[in-house]
Structure 1
Amino acid sequence: MVAPLSAWPWENLGIYKYLLFGPFVAKVIEAMIHEETHKASWCLHLLILCALRASIHQLWGTYSNMLFLTRDRRIVQEGVDFKQIDREWDWDNFIILQALIASMAYYIFPFLANLPLWDSRGFIIVLMLHMTVSEPLFYWVHRCFHGNYLFTHYHSLHHSSPVPQSFTAGYATFLEHLILTAVIGIPVLGSCLIGCGSISMIYAYVLMFDFLKCLGHCNVEVIPHQVFETFPFLRYLLYTPTYHVLHHTEMDSNFCLFMPLYDALGKTLNSKSWELHKEMSSNSGKCGRVPDFVFLAHVVDITAAGHVPFVFRTFASLPFKTRIFMLAIWPGTFVAMLIMWAWSKTFLITFYNLRGRLHQTWAVPRFGFQYFLPFCKEGINNLIEQAILRADRMGVKVISLAALNKNEALNGGGTLFVNKHPNLRVRVVHGNTLTAAVILNDIPKDTEEVFLTGATSKLGRAIALYLCRRRVRVLMLTLSTERFKGIQKEAPADCQNYLVQVTKYQAAQNCKTWIVGKWVTPREQSWAPSGTHFHQFVVPSILAFRRDCTYGELAAMKLPDDVQGLGSCEYTMDRGVVHACHAGGVVHILEGWTHHEVGAIDVDRIDVVWEAALKHGLKPVSSVKKDPQ
């Protein structure tokens, strides 16, 4: 049975919970229509304050997840996974609760409508009340909530988040936030009752309260240890993220709200607090743990650039698709794009752990369209080369190149870098061997004929050679007889007749298995017979134009179930699913292979890589979709 006041009254409303702000909005609109804005000032201030409070939590969350800035000062090193993100999805419930309670206070204490804009006395009074009432009250209540019954039925929810973040600060039960509302309300209401309250005082106190709550939960040490060494008494007046994380990890100490003084008085101050804080603060600028594997991604377009954890972690935890709210942040994203171009360095965006190995995703600050501009070629290759050399210096074992970063016309599938730097210790991997394996294993075993576009590309060549060995007739769409002949000569002599050059789409009008490696227009798709299935390795995917046909997804695999700390989706992929080229790099590091995988695909290794992927628990997406779990 659920404990009393542990659940939120509106927890089943989902996104409709924000309709609870409706009366405030209606009151403001009504007053504006009747030109009586003074009657709606309290509602207007509540709405503004709620928006600012949410912004503080979001900005702290953004900063915490900017791994390229904070990775050296992260206290808990694990990543935030999907489970934690889902649990904390409604972290902002407390903002709604406190807005509703504040609106009731307005009717109970009508004088609140006449507060002045400024009264300097109020700031002194609210600070004194906070230090002498709110701090000890929170400390005492917090210790009570660590008792057996209260912790089990209420406070354990807050501690179920393994990696503290600003959103974790608001993640608690209804009862806990009722008490926290009293903690934050006593200084405000007390100051107003004394006659020293002001609108600016309420804004300042409430926003500073949230700012300090987020500071403690941000999981990034931001306070220099030199401050406490110069002014030792300050360590008892202001806690640090390290100080609060110790409470989350050990739970038997550091119960204070913001002031460690009360832990010292209550003899609950963790003895490691200051030493650990100094250690974390001193780590700034150090490399920290070296990743074993790096996936070098790139930005697709300006809209998709917002699909990263440091923008909106909830959005990043879902497969990407364009949403209306993205239009609002488009200008900011465009400015960020210009800054990225000026910075011209790869940056860390995600990481996860698999079998004790640290896997990181770095991103090249260039957008998809730039890869097709001739004058950008040299600059992009320089960025990729710098990332490879940086990984080599750090001691990274494998770096895998994402789709356009290994473009044949750009750098020969990574060959350019391996030839230029023959003594690289880091293994450069394009991952296309596993991409080919995923596509080939998705083709029914009884298939006798396929139609292949992009037939002379790196992937097209490997697919054609593999299928002809299986005695599958491959209609290779290409205008280059020379390139076709070159591929045909690579096939065994008794299989070469299974490779057939075609120059028009009409040649496939009786073939129901299309493998698309080059963009196919709706008109060209019309030549496919009804019931055709389009397998794809073209970026971007072709339009699903035919209703009487089926369309496959881009080659992808689901990571093993024991992956830890993964909390973002890779572009349009489902949770835990990555592009096959990414998965190819994962297999490379798990197998401990020491060769580079660049240039042309070794057809003889397709089955080897496929079996290795399955052995390590990776699953093709097609089989995942059929899995009832």
Structure 2
Amino acid sequence: MVAPLSAWPWENLGIFKYLLVGPLAAKVLHSWIYEGTIKDLWCLHVLLICGLRGLIHQLWSSYSNMLFLTRTRRIIQQGVDFKQIDREWDWDNFIILQALLASMACLIFPSLDGLPLWNTKGIITLLLLHVAVSEPLYYWAHRFLLHESYLFTNYHSLHHSSPVPHPFTAGHATFLEHLILCVVIGIPMAGSILMGCGSITMVYGYVSTFDFLRCLGHSNVEVVPHEIFNKLPLLRYFLYTPTYHSLHHTEMETNFCLFMPLFDAVGNTLNRNSWQLHQKISLDSAKNGRVPDFVFLAHGVDITSSMHVPFVFRSFSSIPFSTRIFLLPFWPFAFTIMLAMWAWSKAFVLTFYNLRGYLHQTWIVPRFGFQYFLPFAMDGINKRIEEAILRADRIGVKVISLAALNKNEALNGGGTLFVEKHPELKVRVVHGNTLTAAVILNEIPKDVEEVFLTGATSKLGRAIALYLCRRRVRVLMLTLSTERFQKIQREAPVDCQNYLVQVTKYQAAQHCKTWVVGKWITPREQSWAPSGTHFHQFVVPPILAFRRDCTYGDLAAMRLPDDVEGLGSCEYTMERGVVHACHAGGVVHQLEGWTHHEVGAIDVDRIDLVWEAAMKHGLKPVSST
């Protein structure tokens, strides 16, 4: 049994909760279309303010998740995980609540529709009411009501359940708590209007400033320079900082104020470490901060998938990527950003998480899939990858793993180019394909006697073929190059070489039900597979699931161990907590403390060794879960 007024009245409506403000939009559209003018302007203003408030929170969320800008200014280093994202999914409930209350006020007091655009007296009155009424009222309610045992347990503890402050945390609270906040934000505006000095600018300005400061305090990024408080000491009592408010989430008996620490000073609840910690974080922002032990160097796939990064839509990035209709209006903007990133090419920090005390980060080279296949772009791409490797080496990263196209054989020989060019590298460069091969091979049933392999002479194809032939599995290697086939065949043990068979047409596999696809195949080429075939694959992008009478495996992937902390975004189309096998290969390389580079051809003798190391550290193949 939940406490009264703790749950939101529309919490079971899901996305349909936005229909609660639908009548306002309907009234605006009706009067605009059928009457040629918008009579009840208050409806339009309420809708615009709702949109403005949502935008303010979204922009703050984007900024706080831009780790390439904020990494050294973060107060709590831990990332926002999936549990917190799910808890805060309906953070915008308060916007709907205040929109409904504002609509009721406008219906009760029709004169609100005739407010002037500007009134200086109203601005002054509002500021006085905020300082004299709202600030002390919030301080008192926050300290003596919401932190009282019963009310805290049943109401305010929800807000404090978020371990890492985030702009969306500002709106994450119970229904009762936001009713109290409605009174706090409503008194200055209502008082100014009732005194006859209200204005439209006052309403827009106060609401947006209120939300801006709330997001500022919950941003977990220290943006207020400490020098300003050194020059103007009194200012520290009239403007809180993200550091100041974060202390309330870690030491809950201090720093209760709304925006002005003055009331904490008067109430003797001001945390004595507030200014020192703020200064320390501000000064340390010029340093690199904690250096990650492992970096995964990713790349974009296409324009639409680029909007799956956490600093665009946090909730969207927390679920596996799929093309959504709501993304289409943003496509031109994303395309423009892509051009800017292409011109200003540096590696950006996207995500970070902790695994057994080791900090792991994902950097992205601002290049998209199609760019890797432009001959004139290859040198530029290699230059950006090289810069990222050298930067990782310079700051002390132990292992850097290259994503799919960043280690393309034709591009840089699977990373060999960089290792040979910089033999003094301390950072270990890893392509992770040894674990990718291990994942694919362990998906193939032990009793399989014949496998059809496309992309047979590629790095992964070669390793898979050599491994299978040692298991006495007949491998039909699709390749037109007899020379490359024979070179791979000569690498196999003499007594196993006859298990490697060169084929040049897909017709050769019309009786083979196990296909390992390393080169993109068309639906027509798939049609040669017999009914019941399973398509294992290591091709990017994945092949189309054309045959209904066949089954299709996903790209090689592994589930991260259960003790991963701070992971809050999905890797492309992968499920939560699942990463591509090459990413996992880099993780294992770092956890094992291996000191060799894993570049170039795959060492077939290490496939079982890497697989066993992955199992030891708690990684699991997705197919087994």
On whether the aligned pair clears a TM of 0.5, the verdict is yes
Which amino acid in the other structure matches residue 611 of structure 2?
A: W
**Does residue 397 of structure 1 match 2:398?**
yes
State the partner residue of 2:559: 558
State the partner residue of 2:105: 105
How far the C-alpha of 1:55 sits from its partner, in A, is 0.1
State the partner residue of 1:597: 598
State the partner residue of 2:438: 437
SS in 1 for 2:520: coil
User: Which runs of structure 2 are paired with 1:572-587 in the superposition (5 Å)?
Assistant: 572-587=573-588
How far the C-alpha of 1:423 sits from its partner, in A, is 1.1
User: C-alpha offsets along residues 254-309 of structure 1, whole Å, 9 cap, x if unaligned?
Assistant: 00000000000000000001111111111223100000000000011111111100
User: Which runs of structure 2 are paired with 1:484-523 in the superposition (5 Å)?
Assistant: 484-523=485-524
State the partner residue of 1:425: 426
Give the TM-score normalised by the residue count of structure 2. 0.99
**Does the Cα contact within 8 Å between 2:513 and 2:533 map onto a contact in 1?**
yes
Give me the whole-angstrom Cα distance separating, in 2, the residues matched to 1:37 and 1:478.
70
Q: Are residues 266 and 36 of structure 1, via their aligned partners in 2, closer, same or farther at CA, if it must alter by over 3 Å? A: farther
Q: Which runs of 5 or more residues in structure 2 are unaligned?
A: none
**Does the Cα contact within 8 Å between 2:385 and 2:406 map onto a contact in 1?**
yes
State the partner residue of 1:16: 16
SS in 1 for 2:476: strand
**Does residue 314 of structure 1 match 2:312?**
no
**Does residue 2 of structure 1 match 2:2?**
yes
Which amino acid in the other structure matches residue 398 of structure 1?
A: V
Q: Which runs of 5 or more residues in structure 1 are unaligned?
A: 625-629
Give me the whole-angstrom Cα distance separating, in 1, the residues matched to 2:380 and 2:400.
19
How far the C-alpha of 1:110 sits from its partner, in A, is 2.2
State the partner residue of 2:350: 349
**Does residue 163 of structure 1 match 2:161?**
no
How far the C-alpha of 1:439 sits from its partner, in A, is 0.2
How far the C-alpha of 1:38 sits from its partner, in A, is 4.9
State the partner residue of 2:526: 525
Which amino acid in the other structure matches residue 116 of structure 1?
A: P
How far the C-alpha of 1:493 sits from its partner, in A, is 0.6
Alpha-carbon RMSD across the aligned residues, in angstroms, is 0.8
User: Which runs of structure 2 are paired with 1:444-483 in the superposition (5 Å)?
Assistant: 444-483=445-484
**Does residue 548 of structure 1 match 2:549?**
yes
State the partner residue of 2:91: 91
State the partner residue of 1:627: none
State the partner residue of 1:80: 80
State the partner residue of 2:31: 31
Give me the whole-angstrom Cα distance separating, in 2, the residues matched to 1:351 and 1:599.
27
State the partner residue of 1:139: 139
**Does the Cα contact within 8 Å between 2:238 and 2:259 map onto a contact in 1?**
yes
SS in 2 for 1:500: strand
Give me the whole-angstrom Cα distance separating, in 1, the residues matched to 2:30 and 2:559.
53
How far the C-alpha of 1:36 sits from its partner, in A, is 6.6
Give the TM-score normalised by the residue count of structure 1. 0.99
Number of residue-to-residue matches in the alignment:
624
User: C-alpha offsets along residues 359-410 of structure 1, whole Å, 9 cap, x if unaligned?
Assistant: 0000001111111111111111111111111101111000000000000000
How far the C-alpha of 1:334 sits from its partner, in A, is 1.4
State the partner residue of 2:210: 209
State the partner residue of 1:291: 292
Give me the whole-angstrom Cα distance separating, in 2, the residues matched to 1:361 and 1:30.
49
Which amino acid in the other structure matches residue 321 of structure 1?
A: S
Give me the whole-angstrom Cα distance separating, in 1, the residues matched to 2:464 and 2:339.
40
State the partner residue of 2:43: 43
State the partner residue of 1:123: 123
**Does the Cα contact within 8 Å between 2:545 and 2:552 map onto a contact in 1?**
yes
SS in 1 for 2:8: coil
Which amino acid in the other structure matches residue 451 of structure 2?
A: V
SS in 1 for 2:216: helix
Give me the whole-angstrom Cα distance separating, in 2, the residues matched to 1:236 and 1:36.
51
Give me the whole-angstrom Cα distance separating, in 2, the residues matched to 1:33 and 1:408.
60
Give me the whole-angstrom Cα distance separating, in 1, the residues matched to 2:523 and 2:331.
30
Give me the whole-angstrom Cα distance separating, in 2, the residues matched to 1:385 and 1:30.
59
State the partner residue of 2:220: 219
**Does residue 623 of structure 1 match 2:619?**
no
User: C-alpha offsets along residues 196-254 of structure 1, whole Å, 9 cap, x if unaligned?
Assistant: 00111100011100000001000101111111111111111110000000001111100
Which amino acid in the other structure matches residue 98 of structure 2?
A: Q
SS in 2 for 1:39: coil
SS in 1 for 2:40: helix
Aligned-pair identity in percent equals: 78
Which amino acid in the other structure matches residue 262 of structure 2?
A: L
How far the C-alpha of 1:39 sits from its partner, in A, is 2.8
